[in-house]
C-alpha cells in the first residue's frame, strides 16, 4: 500500500474512534429543565438586572461578530493567496531561507498579522467591559496580559511548528503518521503542563487560609471521591469582577481554584455549590474525555492536512507546491480557521451537555437546590450574563446552559427529590 492509502485508512479509523468515543463518553441526555420553570425563573429576576445584562451583551455582540468575520477574512487572504507564503519567505530570508527559520519566524509572522488586524476590536471590547464594571484592568494591565498571551502562544506554537516541520523535512513520505502521533501527544502533555506552568503567568495563586470553608471544600472533594492536592485562591480581582471557581489539572496536579472575587461576592454555601459542580467534571473524567477527544481530533486534522495536499488547485492559490512546505503556514491557518467555525456549534452542544451533567452532580452532591439556584442568580448578576439569550445564538455559541435553564434544572431536581 502507498503512504496515501495508509493515510486514508488511518483517517477513517480515527474518525470512527472519535465518533465511538464521543458516543460513549458524552452525556447526550441532559437533566430536565422545563421551559415553564425557565420562564418563571426569568420573571423573578429583577427587571433592571435583566435589561442591563442584555444591554451589555448587545454592545459586545457587534464587535464579537466583526472579530470573527475579520479573523476569517484575514485567514482566507493569507491562506488562499500568495501573501501568506510571501510573508513566510520574507521572515526566513535573513537566514538564507532556512526551513527552520521559515517554520518559526514565518509562523509567528502569519499569526501576528492576524492578531494585529483584530487588535482594535479586542481593545473596543475592553472599553465596554470596563464601562460596565466587569473588567477592573487599566490599559497597562490589559496590554501586559495581551503580551503575555502572545508570548505563551508564540512558545507553544513555535514548538508545535518546529516539531511538525522537522517531521515533514526528514520523513517526507510518512510525516502524516509521525505528525499525528506527535500532535496527539502534545495535546495530552499540555493537559498536564498548562495548569502548572501557564496559569501562574496570568494569575497569582495562594493557598486558601485554613478555616471552615477550606475544610468544607476538602471534605466535599473527599466525600465525592475526587482527591485534590490543594485549595488555591486566584487573584482574579486585579482584572475582573466576574466570579468563578474550577478544578484544574489531572492526577497529581489537580487542585480546587476559587476566584478571590467569589469569596467577597458569594456566600460560603454558594462557593460550595460552584465547587461541587467543578468536582463533577473531575468525577466524570471530563478533562480526560476532553483530552482524548482533543488528541483524536488533532491527529485526524493532521492526516486531513496531508490528504488536502493532493488538492493542487488549493496549493496553487496559496503559491506553494506542498502542504508540508513551511510557506504553506498561511494555508494551514485558513483551513484550521474554517474547520473551527464549522465545528464550533457541535463543540458548544457537547459542552452544554457536559456542563448540565456537572450541574446535576452538584445538586446530588450538596442536596441543596435552593443554594444552587441562588448561586446561578448571583453568577448571572455579577457576570452580566443574559439569563435567556436568543435561541439561535445560544445553540451556536453557548458553552453552558443559560441562567434560566440552570435555575429550572434546580427546580426540577427539587421536585424529584421531594
H/E element, 234: strand 231-234
H/E element, 13: helix 3-25
> CA distances (Å), 400 to each of 114, 148, 347, 373, in order?
28, 27, 11, 15
Q: Which of 409, 385, 410, 411 is nearest to 398 (CA)?
A: 385
Structural Rg of the chain based on CA atoms: 23
H/E element, 256: strand 255-259
* DSSP-assigned letter for residue 402: -
* DSSP-assigned letter for residue 206: E
Neighbours of 30 (CB within 10 A): 17
- Report, as residue numbers or ranges, the catalytic residues: 278, 359
Please return the burial class of 145, using the count of CB atoms within 10 Å of its CB with bins 0-12, 13-18 and 19+: middle
- Length of the chain (residues): 418
Tell me how many helices (H) and strands (E) the chain has: 18, 4
Residues belonging to the binding site are 277, 281, 355
d(CA 347, CA 325): 30
Q: Which of 293, 269, 268 is nearest to 350 (CA)?
A: 293
How is the beta sheet containing 231-234 ordered, strand by strand? 205-207, 231-234, 255-259, 245-248
d(CA 356, CA 362): 10
- Answer yes or no: are the C-beta atoms of 273 and 366 closer than 8 Å: yes
- Answer yes or no: are the C-beta atoms of 406 and 380 closer than 8 Å: no
Residues belonging to the binding site for Zn(2+) are 277, 281, 355
Gap between the terminal Cα atoms of the chain: 63
d(CA 177, CA 303): 7
- Answer yes or no: are the C-beta atoms of 228 and 255 closer than 8 Å: yes
The grid coordinates of residue 254 equal 489537580
Amino acid at each position: 500500500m502507498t503512504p496515501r492509502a495508509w493515510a486514508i485508512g488511518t483517517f477513517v479509523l480515527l474518525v470512527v474512534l472519535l465518533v465511538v468515543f464521543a458516543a460513549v463518553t458524552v452525556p447526550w441526555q441532559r437533566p430536565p429543565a422545563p421551559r415553564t420553570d425557565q420562564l418563571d425563573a426569568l420573571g423573578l429576576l429583577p427587571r433592571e438586572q435583566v435589561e442591563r445584562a442584555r444591554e451589555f451583551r448587545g454592545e459586545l455582540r457587534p464587535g464579537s461578530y466583526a472579530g470573527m468575520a475579520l479573523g476569517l477574512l484575514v485567514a482566507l487572504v493569507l491562506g488562499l493567496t500568495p501573501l501568506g507564503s510571501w510573508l513566510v519567505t520574507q521572515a526566513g530570508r535573513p537566514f538564507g531561507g532556512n526551513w527552520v527559520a521559515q517554520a518559526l519566524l514565518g509562523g509567528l509572522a502569519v499569526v501576528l498579522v492576524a492578531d494585529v488586524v483584530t487588535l482594535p476590536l479586542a481593545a473596543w471590547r475592553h472599553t465596554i467591559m470596563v464601562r460596565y464594571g466587569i473588567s477592573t484592568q487599566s490599559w497597562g494591565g490589559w496590554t501586559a496580559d495581551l503580551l503575555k498571551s502572545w508570548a505563551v502562544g508564540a512558545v507553544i506554537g513555535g514548538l508545535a511548528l518546529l516539531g511538525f516541520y522537522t517531521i515533514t523535512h526528514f520523513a517526507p513520505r510518512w510525516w502524516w503518521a509521525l505528525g499525528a502521533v506527535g500532535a496527539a501527544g502534545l495535546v495530552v502533555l499540555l493537559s498536564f503542563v498548562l495548569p502548572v506552568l501557564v496559569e501562574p503567568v496570568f494569575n497569582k495563586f495562594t493557598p486558601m487560609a485554613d478555616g471552615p470553608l477550606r475544610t468544607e471544600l476538602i471534605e466535599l472533594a473527599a466525600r465525592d471521591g475526587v482527591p485534590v492536592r490543594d485549595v488555591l485562591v486566584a487573584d482574579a480581582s486585579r482584572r475582573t469582577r466576574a466570579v468563578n471557581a474550577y478544578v484544574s489539572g489531572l492526577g497529581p496536579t489537580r487542585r480546587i481554584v476559587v476566584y478571590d472575587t467569589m469569596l467577597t461576592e458569594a456566600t460560603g454555601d454558594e462557593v460550595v455549590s460552584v465547587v461541587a459542580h467543578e468536582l463533577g467534571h473531575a468525577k466524570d473524567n471530563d478533562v480526560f474525555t476532553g483530552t482524548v477527544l482533543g488528541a483524536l481530533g488533532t491527529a485526524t486534522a493532521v492526516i486531513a492536512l496531508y490528504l488536502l495536499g493532493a488538492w493542487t488547485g488549493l496549493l496553487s492559490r496559496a503559491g506553494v507546491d506542498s502542504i508540508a512546505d513551511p510557506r504553506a503556514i498561511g494555508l494551514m491557518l485558513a483551513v484550521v480557521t474554517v474547520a473551527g467555525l464549522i465545528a464550533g456549534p457541535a463543540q458548544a452542544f457537547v459542552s452544554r451537555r457536559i456542563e448540565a451533567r456537572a450541574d446535576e452532580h452538584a445538586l446530588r452532591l450538596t442536596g441543596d437546590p435552593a443554594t444552587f439556584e441562588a448561586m446561578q442568580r448571583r453568577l448571572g448578576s455579577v457576570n452580566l450574563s443574559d439569563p435567556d439569550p436568543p435561541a439561535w445564538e445560544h445553540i451556536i455559541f453557548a458553552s453552558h446552559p443559560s441562567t434560566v435553564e440552570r435555575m429550572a434544572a434546580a427546580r426540577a431536581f427539587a421536585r424529584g427529590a421531594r
